[in-house]
Chains A and B, each alone.
Chain A
Amino acid sequence: MHSLISVIVSGVAVGCVYALIALGFTLIYKATEVVNFAQGELLMIGAFVAYSFIVLWGWGYWAAIAATMIVVAVIGFLIDAVILRRIIGQPQFSVVMLTIGLGFVLRAVGTMIWGTSSLVLPTPFAGAINVGGVVVSSTTLSMMVGAVFLCGAVGMFFGLTRVGVAMQAASQNQLAAYYMGVPVKLLFSLVWAISGGIAAIAGVLIAPVTLVDSNLGFLGLKAFAAAVLGGFGSVPGALVGGVLIGLLEQLSSWYVTADMKDIAAYVALLAVLFVRPQGLLGSVGRKKV
């Protein structure tokens, strides 16, 4: 019984990280209507950069996290400011292809700089604590706490700060926001920066579980499945979808076979989409004619 609970706990923990990546997707989509297939690669870059700071240059863990966040946020900002801004108004399909291409480029850059072997990212979280008879490792706990903290911070940012509210306005109606003096282009790049920062943290959090290599980028696809599962464009949907998929993976590898883990997310996604084409929490949209 306890082992089942610990499976659930670790599932939720991994799910929290998926939820974070999915949150990054959803933020960008909600604000700029770009579907960022390179989100997983931003996460990968985040993990690599953190590795450089901590292992190669000997920075402290927390300082390294902050620095990583800034570096990836800048990368995200630049991707939008230099590349995506040029194709505003192109059909969504082109944008999807563009971000897929960017993902490939980022992954190639990652392998060129950090090589192909898996790296270990040391963390200060050691040992485990006993919560009501269930042993939870600190790493697992750090993933959950980090995710919850970050979601809270993002929520507060959008709800309470001027910039956050302006971003909400721009996502509701670009043109109107522009006329009201909101610097829409700058805000879009900022949204990219925020979601890059989130991806970086997600990368650092999940690194102890997965090791750091260029395959981390593929986590993005799973998180994308999570976002779609929850209903694309809905923030609660992304969070619920992420946790659900993390949970499903662990449970399926526990109950079925270990390699079911790799496709559990996708089986679940197909099953849900065929029953509810708009995802779990998505709203049914209809083009007005």
Chain B
Amino acid sequence: MRRIFKTHYNQDIDLFRDGIDRNIYCGLLVILLLLPLSVGSFWLGEISYALILSITSVGLMLLTGFAGQVSIGHGAFVGIGAYANAVLLTSGLPLPLSIIGAVVISTLVGALLGYPALRLSGLYLAMATLAFTFIVEHVFVHWESMTGGFGGMSVPAGVILNYSIMEGVSFYYLCLLSAVGALLLARNILRSPTGRAFVSIRDSEVAAQSMGVNLASKKTTAFALSAGFAGLSGALLAHRIGSLAPDAFGVLLSIQLLLMVVVGGLGSLHGAIFGAIFVSMLPQIIAVFRDTLPDSLAQQPGLEPGLFGAILVAFVLFEPAGINGRWQKVKAYFAHFPMHRKATFRRQKNFTKSERFR
């Protein structure tokens, strides 16, 4: 077991807990940087997809996992980012600017939704964001002059310095850069006052307020930030799928994104990444699964969403802390190896605590 001896406050403020952690993460980054040398284009594409998803996942984690505001509407922000990027590219803006534009637009929309939404809480907020998804989808379908409606909209190839980024390796690096950047920004926010304010809002709004947290401004900030992250990932996703159709950004995507943070483990950035990897690999996992099933069942059309739901149910029932929670348990098991106590993580028996205000 590793013991950390703290000699300066900076050790609690720094990005990494200690040298070992720093080396692990830097090593991981080096591996990711060298990946195109050893991995074929199919897997490179899949990993790019995981990186894209992890950007939204981190954003949604900030909002839902840390600030405690449930959003069933993040698919819409991803869509806004994707369409904004495509529209800006079509209008002749160069690539980096179009992505930045997409992020700015979705951030603004997020703030616009967040501001009135901050008066809502819990279910009402979830419902409002759900309604927002439906409305945005409707706009995508019917604003044909801008989005091409159901006919779809092709995304112009992104070019940086006469070098097409649509090609596998360079697109991979763009995704990696964006994902690492997003992660770094999120980590910075979490270790500074704004991040602490988010957590305080999640755990007790009254106390947060009495300690000087401006609920309105912090909730709007959380909404805007996570919408911005979703917008960035949408802009990249647009390049991956090539042609945008409105129904790609509906309720199903939103729920898939929520699945990501729940399965990953709420309240941790590790969880956000785990969840993104899991969801991006889900089609592969299901494909493997399908091969083992009898044909009559495997060819059923509803299998994929059904498994999707079953996984969600299984996680909530058996591992509410998500993949990250499982990971912590495994780590703790090895850290205490022979002295492992079974009851360490036993869930406490609970009674329904009313969340209704009476």
Contact = CB atoms under 8 A, between A and B. Distances in A.
A179 interface: no
B123 A266 contact: no
Given A105-B306, A107-B305, A274-B116, A259 B313 contact: no
A35 B135 contact: no
A90 B350 contact: yes
B313 A98 contact: yes
Contact of A83 (B251, B317, B356): B317
B315 to A, nearest CB: 8
A174 B122 CA distance: 22
A33 B120 contact: no
Q: Is the interface of B mostly helix, strand, loop or mixed?
A: helix
Interface string A68-107: 0000000000000001001111111111111011111111
Interface in A198-239: 214, 221, 224-225, 228, 232-233
B110 interface: no
A269 interface: yes
Nearest to A276: B119
A105 B135 contact: no
A100 B255 contact: yes
B124 A270 contact: no
A5 interface: no
Interface in B54-82: 64, 70
Contacts of B127: 224-225, 228, 269, 273
B308 interface: yes
B317 A221 contact: no
Contact of B301 (A87, A90, A116, A273): A116
Interface of A: 32-33, 35, 83, 86-98, 100-112, 116, 174-175, 214, 221, 224-225, 228, 232-233, 259, 262-263, 265-267, 269-270, 273-274, 277-279, 285-289
Given A89-B352, A100-B312, 14 more contacts: A83-B317, A88-B350, A94-B320, A96-B123, A97-B316, A105-B310, A108-B300, A112-B302, A232-B123, A259-B138, A265-B131, A266-B134, A267-B135, A273-B128
7 contacts: A104-B312, A111-B301, A112-B306, A228-B127, A262-B138, A273-B124, A285-B358
